[in-house]
C-alpha cells in the first residue's frame, strides 16, 4: 500500500483557482425564438394484455390450486387408511382364520423350557391347558371340549370302534399323565379338535407315537369316519417349530361323506393331535388346517 505524503507546511493550496479572462468576440447573430418549455408528464404505459389472456391465466391458476388441494387431500386420506381399506391394496383372503394373539404362559420359578439343555426329559412345566390353541373369531366352542381336562375315553373316541381298545392300551403302556382338549365349529361347518397328551418324558411320548404308527409303520391308525390316510403333500416339513416333529395326513379323493385331515405333533413329553373334519363334497380346506397346526406347534415349541 503506497503511503501519501502531505504537502510541505510552508506551501499553501488556494481554495479556488482563478482562470485567465477570455477575450470577447464579435456578437452572435440572434436566432429564432425558443419554443416554450413543456412540463414533463408520466411515462406512457406499455400496451395492455388482451382480456382473453388474463381470463385464461386466472382459470389455469385456479385449476392448479384446486388440483393441488385435491392431491394433498387424497395423499392425506390414503396415508391415514389401513391397507385393507384402500382399493387395489387389500390383502386377498386366502382362507385363514382370525386367531387371537398368542402368548406363552409363565413358567414356575426356576423351571426350564422344554428344549433347554438342562431339561433332558423335555418336559413342559407350564400348565398344559394354557398351551392349547384358542378358538378363532366366529367359532362356536364345543362345550365338551372347552379347554379343560378330558378322560382317555373322550380322546380314543376320535378313532374307529375297532381301534379304540388298542389305543387305550397304548396310552396305559406309555404312562400318560393327563389330556387337555379344545374344540370348535366354524360357520362353514368345519369341526376342529385339538388334543394335548402329556407323558412322563419324551421317551414315553415317542413310544406312543411308535404304537400309533404300528411299531414304525409309514401310516398311522386311521381316525373315525375316514378311509386310509395319505400324506399331506401340501405340508412343508420346515413349517413347524424347531425341536418338534409333525406328521401330517389327509384323506384321498374321492372321500366319503366327510373329509378328515389330521396331524400328530411330537414336542418333547407332549403329543398333539389336531383334527379338522367337514361334511360335504368340498371337504376340509388345507389353509386353515395348516394354520391351526403351525400355531399349535409354535405354542409347544
Per-residue pLDDT band for 86 (boundaries 50, 70, 90) equals very low
Q: Can you name the residues that pair with 153 across neighbouring β-strands?
A: none
Is 201 among the domain residues?
Answer: yes
Q: How many domains does the chain have?
A: 1
Alpha carbons within 13 angstroms on the beta-carbon side of residue 8 total: 2
Is 258 among the domain residues?
Answer: yes
Q: What is the pLDDT of residues 142-169, one digit of tens each?
A: 999 999 999 999 999 999 999 999 999 9
Q: What is the pLDDT of residues 194-237, one digit of tens each?
A: 999 999 999 999 999 999 987 556 789 999 988 888 999 889 87
Residue 130 pLDDT greater than 80, yes or no? yes
First-to-last alpha carbon distance for the chain, in angstroms, is: 89
Instruction: Choose the most confident range, by mean pLDDT, from 74-83, 220-229, 288-297.
Output: 288-297
Residue pair 144/183 in contact (Cβ under 8 Å)? The answer is: yes
Residue pair 57/64 in contact (Cβ under 8 Å)? The answer is: no
Question: What does pLDDT average to over the chain?
Answer: 78
Q: What are the Cα distances from residue 267, in Å, to 196, 205, 230?
A: 10, 9, 22
Q: What is the pLDDT of residue 85?
A: 42
Range of the domain at 154: 141-300
CATH number at residue 205: 3.40.1000
CA distance 244 to 209: 13
- Please tell me the pTM assigned to this model: 0.70
Q: What is the pLDDT of residue 218?
A: 75
Is 111 among the domain residues?
Answer: no
Is 54 among the domain residues?
Answer: no
Give the percent of the chain with pLDDT over 90.
56
- Return the SS3 of 172: helix
Give the percent of the chain with pLDDT over 70.
68
Question: Following DSSP, what letter does each residue of 50-106 receive, concatenated?
Answer: PHHHHHHHHHHHHHHHHHHHHHHHHHHHHHTS-GGGSTTTSPP--S---PPPP-PPP
Average pLDDT over every residue of 86-96: 58
The label of the residue with cell 409363565 reads 106
Is 11 among the domain residues?
Answer: no
Q: What is the pLDDT of residue 22?
A: 38
Is 28 among the domain residues?
Answer: no
Is 47 among the domain residues?
Answer: no
Per-residue pLDDT band for 92 (boundaries 50, 70, 90) equals low
Per-residue pLDDT band for 76 (boundaries 50, 70, 90) equals very low
CA distance 209 to 266: 8
Q: What is the pLDDT of residues 25-57, one digit of tens each?
A: 444 344 444 444 444 445 445 555 455 554 555
Is 239 among the domain residues?
Answer: yes
Per-residue pLDDT band for 175 (boundaries 50, 70, 90) equals very high
Residue 286 pLDDT greater than 90, yes or no? yes
Amino acid at each position: 500500500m503506497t503511503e501519501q505524503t502531505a504537502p510541505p507546511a510552508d506551501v499553501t493550496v488556494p481554495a479556488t483557482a482563478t482562470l485567465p479572462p477570455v477575450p470577447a468576440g464579435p456578437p452572435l447573430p440572434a436566432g429564432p425564438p425558443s419554443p416554450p418549455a413543456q412540463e414533463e408528464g408520466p411515462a406512457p404505459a406499455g400496451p395492455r394484455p388482451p382480456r382473453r389472456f388474463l381470463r385464461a391465466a386466472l382459470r389455469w391458476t385456479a385449476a392448479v390450486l384446486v388440483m393441488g388441494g385435491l392431491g394433498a387431500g387424497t395423499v392425506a386420506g390414503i396415508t391415514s387408511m389401513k391397507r385393507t381399506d384402500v382399493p387395489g391394496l387389500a390383502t386377498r383372503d386366502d382362507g385363514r382364520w382370525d386367531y387371537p394373539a398368542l402368548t406363552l404362559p409363565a413358567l414356575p420359578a426356576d423351571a426350564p423350557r422344554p428344549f433347554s439343555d438342562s431339561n433332558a426329559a423335555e418336559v413342559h412345566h407350564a400348565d398344559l391347558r394354557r398351551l392349547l390353541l384358542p378358538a378363532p373369531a366366529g367359532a362356536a366352542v364345543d362345550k365338551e371340549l372347552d379347554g379343560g381336562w378330558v378322560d382317555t375315553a373322550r380322546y380314543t373316541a376320535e378313532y374307529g370302534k375297532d381301534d379304540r381298545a388298542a389305543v387305550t392300551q397304548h396310552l396305559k403302556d406309555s404312562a400318560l399323565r393327563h389330556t387337555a382338549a379344545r374344540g370348535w365349529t366354524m360357520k362353514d361347518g368345519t369341526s376342529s379338535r385339538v388334543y394335548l397328551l402329556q407323558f412322563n418324558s419324551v421317551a414315553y411320548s415317542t413310544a406312543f407315537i411308535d404304537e400309533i404308527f404300528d411299531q414304525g409303520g409309514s401310516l398311522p391308525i386311521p381316525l373315525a369316519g375316514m378311509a386310509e390316510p395319505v400324506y399331506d403333500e401340501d405340508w412343508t416339513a420346515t413349517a413347524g417349530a424347531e425341536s418338534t416333529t409333525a406328521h401330517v395326513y389327509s384323506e384321498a379323493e374321492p372321500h366319503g361323506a366327510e373329509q378328515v385331515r389330521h396331524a400328530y405333533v411330537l414336542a418333547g413329553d407332549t403329543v398333539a393331535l389336531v383334527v379338522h373334519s367337514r361334511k360335504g363334497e368340498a371337504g376340509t380346506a388345507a389353509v386353515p388346517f395348516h394354520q391351526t397346526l403351525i400355531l399349535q406347534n409354535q405354542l409347544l415349541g
